[in-house]
């Protein structure tokens, strides 16, 4: 498979996943398997030809073949009760069910790629943040060393500054290792053996207002895991109809020619055979199909209940991460940035000691780290919600009716 070089966007990652994911490649064969079953279900039973030789190899006039008779017969099974049409319908519904499962798997795989892409994007942001922290620590250490050489502060301050710098470099190494692991996961989800791309491109800080929970619930039926149950119930009905049709016995019609060696005469022969449904009327299979149909109704209810609960949980995560990200973006990070800038300036002027500078630096780093994590959680919650409703949130927001009296 052709490696991806340069900058990787989310659209490219998703397109590559559709083309290269081994999971999608494997499950896509289920549709072709369903087509093959439909073909087989519509075929007529093969006719049967038989040959019978009797009245030979005995004693007297039946010694040898002089008194023998031979029979050539052609038989055809005739299916009654609409079995072939019901069998074909059942295969067609099962093929549609396979298509729903393929669609569900596609959404799962694309969502996983989306999450892995976000992990890489988040890792890049963390490295940028940690690299900035290293630069700040280096600058602070240099300032402390200058003050130590000038005799303004104790050499112990220089040691503390060196330790703080070492800690930030360890954090940078850890972030680089985490990014490398995230890149590998993203490459694997796209069906690639190695992460050949240089970096991913995206805007992690983008926040869009979220729709209401009621708006999202209205789209839940688009979820393939929910929508498939319409076909699942139809499949159980078709299976029951097939089992009921099997109660009606099929007939075999036959015809042939019989030859008598002793008189050199021949005669036509026709026949019909019908099983007598005295004991086996397929009652066990019919009962099983009825129970499976009843089970499908309960499974459908259970599936929808679980989906509603899962969507509710995902929406809470979406709403909380959005609120947290907005608070960090608008208030906390700017405030921590200002405190650090003021403290750094005061430190250079000798108004603050190194520990006060270090505290302000850590506060800023923690706020920015929380901001990045919150943004990542927000975007992953968007992915989870969109997977559950099989619809982009932008489409849901655009479809919301305008308030009465508002202009479009």
Reported confidence tier of residue 251, pLDDT bands at 50, 70, 90: very high
Residue with tokens 């990045």: 372
Measured CA to CA, the distance from residue 159 to residue 241 in angstroms comes to 84
Question: Is the pLDDT at 393 greater than 70, yes or no?
Answer: yes
In the numeric block, which tokens belong to residue 398?
């655009």
In tens, the pLDDT along 217-250 reads 999 999 999 999 999 999 999 999 999 999 999 9
Q: For the chain, what percent of residues have pLDDT higher than 90?
A: 70
Contacts of 41 (CB under 8 A, 6+ apart): 84, 87, 88, 90, 91
In the numeric block, which tokens belong to residue 91?
């295969």
In the chain, how long is the greatest CA-to-CA distance? Answer: 137
As a whole number, mean pLDDT of residues 114-121 equals 96
Q: Which among 253, 295, 245 has a CA at the least distance from the CA of 274? A: 253
Measured CA to CA, the distance from residue 245 to residue 154 in angstroms comes to 96
Question: Is the pLDDT at 1 greater than 80, yes or no?
Answer: no
pLDDT at 3: 67
pLDDT at 58: 75
Question: Is the pLDDT at 160 greater than 90, yes or no?
Answer: no
Q: For the chain, what percent of residues have pLDDT higher than 70?
A: 97
In the numeric block, which tokens belong to residue 220?
């839940």
Contact 332, 319 (CB under 8 A): no
In tens, the pLDDT along 173-193 reads 999 999 999 999 999 999 998
Own/partner pairs for 340-343, CB < 8 Å, 24+ apart?
Answer: 340/364
Contact 396, 216 (CB under 8 A): yes
What phi, psi does 345 have (nearest 5°)? -65, -40
In tens, the pLDDT along 281-331 reads 999 999 999 999 999 999 999 999 999 999 999 999 999 999 999 999 999
Task: Please return the burial class of 210, using the count of CB atoms within 10 Å of its CB with bins 0-12, 13-18 and 19+.
Answer: buried
Measured CA to CA, the distance from residue 107 to residue 220 in angstroms comes to 14
pLDDT at 403: 38
Which letter, b or e, does each residue of 313-342 get, where b requires 16 or more Cβ atoms within 10 Å of its Cβ? ebbebbeebbebbeebeeebbeebeebbee
Beta bridge pairs of residue 199: 7
Q: Which pairing describes strands 199-201 and 7-9: parallel, antiparallel, or unpaired?
A: parallel
In the numeric block, which tokens belong to residue 285?
């299979």
**End-to-end distance of the chain based on CA atoms, in angstroms?**
48
pLDDT, averaged across the chain: 90
Measured CA to CA, the distance from residue 167 to residue 132 in angstroms comes to 13
pLDDT at 136: 83
Question: Is the pLDDT at 141 greater than 90, yes or no?
Answer: no
Better-predicted residue by pLDDT, 377 or 260 = 377
Tell me which of 107-111, 137-141, 197-201 is least confident.
137-141
């Amino acid at each position: 498979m052709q490696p991806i070089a340069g900058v990787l966007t989310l659209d490219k990652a998703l397109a590559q996943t559709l083309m290269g994911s081994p999971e999608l490649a494997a499950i896509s064969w289920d549709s072709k398997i369903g087509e093959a079953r439909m073909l087989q279900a519509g075929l007529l039973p093969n006719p049967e030809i038989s040959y019978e030789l009797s009245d030979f190899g005995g004693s007297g006039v039946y010694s040898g073949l002089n008194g023998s008779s031979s029979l050539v017969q052609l038989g055809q099974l005739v299916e009654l009760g609409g079995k072939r049409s019901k069998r074909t319908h059942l295969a067609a519904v099962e093929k549609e069910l396979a298509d729903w499962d393929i669609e569900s798997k596609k959404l799962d795989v694309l969502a996983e790629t989306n999450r892995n892409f976000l992990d890489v994007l988040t890792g890049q942001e963390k490295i940028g943040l940690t690299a900035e922290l290293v630069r700040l620590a280096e600058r602070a250490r240099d300032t402390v060393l200058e003050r130590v050489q000038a005799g303004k502060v104790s050499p112990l301050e220089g040691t503390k500054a060196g330790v703080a710098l070492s800690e930030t470099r360890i954090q940078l190494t850890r972030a680089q290792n985490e990014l490398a692991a995230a890149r590998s996961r993203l490459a694997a989800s796209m069906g690639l053996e190695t992460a050949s791309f240089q970096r991913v491109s995206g805007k992690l800080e983008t926040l869009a207002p979220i729709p209401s929970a009621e708006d999202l619930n209205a789209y839940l039926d688009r979820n393939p895991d929910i929508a498939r149950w319409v076909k699942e119930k139809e499949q159980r009905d078709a299976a029951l109809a097939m089992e009921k049709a099997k109660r009606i016995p099929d007939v075999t019609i036959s015809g042939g020619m019989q030859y008598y060696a002793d008189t050199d005469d021949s005669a036509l022969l026709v026949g019909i055979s019908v099983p007598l449904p005295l004991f086996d009327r397929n009652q066990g299979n019919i009962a099983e199909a009825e129970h499976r149909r009843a089970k499908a109704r309960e499974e459908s209810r259970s599936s929808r209940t679980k989906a509603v609960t899962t969507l509710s949980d995902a929406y809470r995560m979406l709403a909380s991460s959005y609120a947290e990200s907005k608070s960090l973006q608008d208030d906390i990070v700017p405030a921590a940035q200002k405190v650090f800038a003021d403290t750094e300036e005061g430190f250079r002027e000798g108004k603050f000691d190194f520990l006060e500078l270090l505290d302000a630096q850590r506060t800023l780093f923690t706020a920015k780290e929380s901001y990045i994590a919150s943004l990542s959680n927000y975007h992953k919650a968007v992915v989870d919600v969109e997977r559950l409703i099989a619809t982009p949130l932008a489409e849901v927001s655009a479809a919301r009716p305008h308030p009465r009296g508002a202009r479009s």
